[in-house]
Chain A
């Protein structure tokens, strides 16, 4: 393991440990409003200051990290599995199925998702707990985010289908699901990994954008997305640099995840 990967490993472990220990590190919790000190700068009491309504930003970052680190990868997993099924299978089968899958993914990508999401929100009940709203949000992201990955996977699987080793496997009598699971899927692994890691920050930012539609994580529960929304309208970073912490944390954690992967896994 090279030094960069070791460092990345430490970063991810520290971040995960801190988010899991949020109850002890920030006993005030993410929802308590210190109304005598709204928008306060960092202090001994509030390490990252407070937000607009006086909630401890450090506590919100820790709890938000816990939610986003758990649910954004979960959503990415859902979307990658769906992409592997649709794109991978279509590419493997080729011909009519490939054309059908590509047509379907193109149609899926061209749909006006913004308006469909508004409709989805209108169908949901209003009285849902913040935790349920988090689960719903990331599930929707996972279910809707597969199409772009599926297109990439179908191209890769299509290339594999005509490769020499697949021809050899076929010539040896291997075919059907067994060929797909033993030879095709393992060779799609680097692409799948790449799509998975790319999806995580995309889903985190999508969750922040969904907040504008009322589909994001419900108040008072924090997430990286809702913490990033705090940066809206921030004109000068120099005046309040501590407000950039959620953004920096997102960059650091995502970079660490990328470093943790081997070169072969990342370069698809």
Chain B
């Protein structure tokens, strides 16, 4: 089912947890709410569920205004961060709970409830554990029981709060792949909250990046990574470097020299240049580049990370190179230039509204 969040505001006391947030969730989509702690992502999830009520704004499930409905009436499936399994009930009873508590007019017969619960346990690969209690299960198994329990009520939308947060790295990776499979098979509209960007980018159809109670960007994982729309997203998703630069008649200057990048049609003034460590090219002989001394060098799996000191007043930047190219540059001077980058103007500057992004083809290719 399609879910539309419109101009939602939520205050706890006087502290606004969400400020004028709008979001369209498409039917059948797997969408991630990603952000640091305190960004309001869990609050948004709980508002959709009806576990919190908004200070202002509306939430639509399809054409229905769900914000006037109680959590029971919304018919959602919610998976809690610590699963919240009923510890005194067996796995089978946990999964059947949502069907058993229905008023008799809507309750399926006992045999049917049992069959559905058994089917779901099979779907989440827990057949044979029906009689176990939650305390007798591993973390990953509890997680799957919680998911089966939420799906048993055939929810309009499936909501997961940090679904893999309490699991160790290995189990987390397996369950991630598994959740994607389950989603593709059942087609539930699914929203999950995470602070793990790898999880969000790998799993979701679309990612909602949140910060300080507002949505920074909504897009496919590719969009979010390749075309961040704000300094926050640039900094939060993946690795990035930022350096303070000056614009002068369409050219970008770092300190007292141009770095060989052009930003045509941009007014002069100060700006911040963002680029990713792997979006760079090394340059021999510098007629317009960034240059500095290599201060540290680390090998991370298939790449080598170099930390480069650009000068006293600047924090070091990091670049990534194939190991064979990097070996010759250890503890020496290195010259490079970003191939993909983005400019952001200081806040309050009018130009800030339109960040500049130059494809590599438009670069002034001096020195190569």
A binds B: no
* Chain A residues proximal to chain B, CB less than 8 Å: none
Residues of B within 8 A of A (CB): none
